[in-house]
Amino acid sequence: MSIEKQSFGKLPDGQETSLYTLKNTAGMEARITDFGGIIVSLTAPDRDGNFADVVHGCDSLEVYLKGVPYFGAIIGRFGNRIAKGSFELDGVTYSLPINNGVNALHGGLKGFDKKLWNAKLIEGEEPALKLSYLAADMEEGYPGNLSIEVIYTLQADNTLRIDYKATTDKATVLNVTNHSYFNLSGAADVLDHEVILHADKFLPVDATVIPTGELRPVAGTPFDFTEKHTIGERINDTTYEQIVLGSGYDHCYVLTDTSSDLRLAAEVYEPKTGRVMEVFTTEPGMQFYSANHLKGDIIGKGGATYGRRSAFCIETQHFPDSPNKSHFPTTVLRPDEVYQSTTSYKFSAK
């Protein structure tokens, strides 16, 4: 195991960014930058033991600064959408930047994905990188000085574990996730990837992709992945309104196991390479997104272009628009509380 550090370029204000390469004893590598906590690359073995990169990303800081759809980044303060950029907390109404139609998305105009985090290497049997950041009171419209740390650990069994921890000095809302775009084969699309989601309900959305508030059973719908289906099998079933509203899959799933333990949430298998990805989380839900809005206009690593449905995302999280839906699991964090969350991505092959 080892950790290597190298320059990743300068921000417009002159601050230096770094790229950290974590390697485990099995040969797996994770490259992570302190800009946005972005997972730039992540390798995983195929059935022949060959490692290849399985996430979308860019070769330089300059490309990220031009704007990418959150490739591999830490998302916060609030992952996913908040309706009309507004919520009430303890009798006070807070207004957020509108950056997704009429809604607020992924923490605002300059969320956690665009911040320079403090980085510290953690000694131990498995390479780990701790990133920390202090979000000021009213940054992007959110109340409270929020102290947050994210630890990436590359484990010996080819698992990338992400631990989140945060505290605040004032009541706020918090919903943090990682927005990696996965493709287990390197092919032009992921429609042949076979998926199991351990979720018996999902959240239908309105025309602005805000949850209606209903927790709808997946049974009998194109959203049922309780048994194995390929991503492409029903993704164009426009007879089902939710497929139309999401332009495919772009919905939050409600995990069947409602405990807060680290439990299996999703399994993805790519038949050509044999690669398997298992997602474990302590969160109550996950956004399953089939990269419907990628256009092939971003130059990725090695000159790759990332087109529509060239990847999938499984963003473990609390539910979208939770601050405005009292029956959803709360995302309120108060000064006497500690926010803690864990998600793991485990890779193998068969």
CA distance 3 to 105: 33
In the structure encoding, which two tokens stand for residue 292, read together? 């419907």
Give me the DSSP letters along 181-210: PB-SS-SS--TT-EEEE-EEEE--B-TTS-
Q: How many CB atoms lie within 10 A of CB 220?
A: 7
Give me the DSSP letters along 269-297: E-TTT-EEEEEEESSSEEEEE--TT--S-
Q: Which of 154, 94, 101, 100 is nearest to 124 (CA)?
A: 154
Give me the DSSP letters along 48-109: TS-EEE-B---SSHHHHHH--S-TT-EE-SB-SEEGGGEEEETTEEEE----BTTBEETTST
In the structure encoding, which two tokens stand for residue 273, read together? 């390479």
* Active-site residue identified among 29, 139, 270, 315: 315
Active site residue 337: no
Q: How many CA atoms, within 13 angstroms, populate the side-chain half-sphere of residue 31?
A: 20
In the structure encoding, which two tokens stand for residue 226, read together? 């309780």
Q: Which residues contact 48 (CB under 8 A, 6 or more apart)?
A: none
Q: Which of 140, 66, 61, 133 is nearest to 99 (CA)?
A: 140
Q: How many CB atoms lie within 10 A of CB 229?
A: 18
* Active-site residue identified among 106, 179, 193, 229: 179
CA distance 184 to 268: 9
Active site residue 179: yes
CA distance 316 to 298: 25
**Token pair 């709360």 is at which residue?**
330
Report yes or no: 86 and 108 within 8 Å, Cβ to Cβ. no
Q: Which of 281, 238, 273, 258 is nearest to 328 (CA)?
A: 258
| Residues labelled catalytic | 179, 315
